[in-house]
Amino acid sequence: MFLQKFINQPDHYLAMTTKFIAMLIGIAAIVSIGGAYALVQSNQPTSEMHADGMKTMGHVALVVYGPDGAIKAYRQTDNLVVSNGDNATVNQMFGVSRTTTSGTIGTFKAVAVGTNNTSPTTTDFKLWGQQGHKVIATTSIATATRGNVVLTANFAAGKITNSSNQNIVEAGIFDNSAANPNSNSTNMFARQTFSQISIGSSDTLQITWTVNIT
C-alpha cells in the first residue's frame, strides 16, 4: 500500500524524496568514517605522544689488587652527576655558556680518588680529599646500549699512596688530569662516596665507570 502511494506521487515529490534519502545516506557514511578515524587515532602507540626526557646516570665499580694479583677489596655504587657536569654537557652539545668551573671544557676521561666521605651533592666541583694524581681512563663503547660509555682507570702501585697506606672513600670524573685538586682549570663531571677501601703501597686499583645518557 505504501509502495503504491509512493509510486503514485508527482514526479517533483519523488525527486525531493530521493534527494532526502541520498542526503541521509551521505551523512551516515561521514559519521561512520569519522568514527573509524577516531578509533584509529586512539589506537596509536602512547609512546609516540610522550615527550622524550634525557637523563645522565652512572655506575662505578672499584677493585683493589694485592701485589700477588689477588682481589683484596671490591666496591660498587651509582654515582651522582654534579651540576658542573650537566652544564658542561649542555655547553658542548648546544654551544651555550652555562656556568662551569672552567670555561674550557675537555674530554671527561680523568679519574681521581680521595679520603673525604662527605656525601656528594650537585654543587660539588672537586674531591674533598684527593690523594695522588688523576689517571686518564681508557674508554669503550663495545656494549650495545645506546648512549653508553665505559671508562676504565688503572692506578699503579704507589700512584695513590705515595709509599703509605690510604683509606679511599670517594671518586670522581674530571675533564683533565691537573694534579692540583683545587685547580679552577678542571671540571668535575660526577662524584660518589663508598665504604672505606684500604690501599697499601704495593696495591693497585682499577675503577670501571659506566655512564649512560638515556
Under the banding of pLDDT at 50, 70 and 90, the label for residue 36 is very low
Q: Classify residue 92 as left (phi > 0), alpha (psi -120 to 50) or beta.
A: alpha
What tens digit of pLDDT does each residue of 116-173 get?
A: 999 999 999 999 999 988 999 999 998 777 889 999 999 999 888 776 789 999 999 9
Which among 52, 49, 123 is positioned nearest to 87, based on CA atoms? 123
Cell matching residue 144: 650495545
Spatial distance between the Cα atoms of 191 and 122, rounded to a whole number of angstroms: 9
The 3 state secondary structure assigned to 162-181 is CCCCEEEEEEEEECCCCCCC
The identity of residue 75, as a single letter, is R
What tens digit of pLDDT does each residue of 97-119 get?
A: 999 999 999 999 999 999 999 99
Cβ atoms of residues 173 and 111 within 8 Å: yes
Spatial distance between the Cα atoms of 97 and 165, rounded to a whole number of angstroms: 42
Under the banding of pLDDT at 50, 70 and 90, the label for residue 181 is low
Spatial distance between the Cα atoms of 27 and 197, rounded to a whole number of angstroms: 78
Which among 59, 110, 61, 56 is positioned nearest to 85, based on CA atoms? 56
Cβ atoms of residues 121 and 191 within 8 Å: no
Average pLDDT over residues 77-91: 93
Domain parsing of the chain, residue ranges:
2-47, 56-213
Cβ atoms of residues 58 and 190 within 8 Å: yes
Under the banding of pLDDT at 50, 70 and 90, the label for residue 10 is low
Q: What is the largest CA-CA distance in the chain?
A: 118
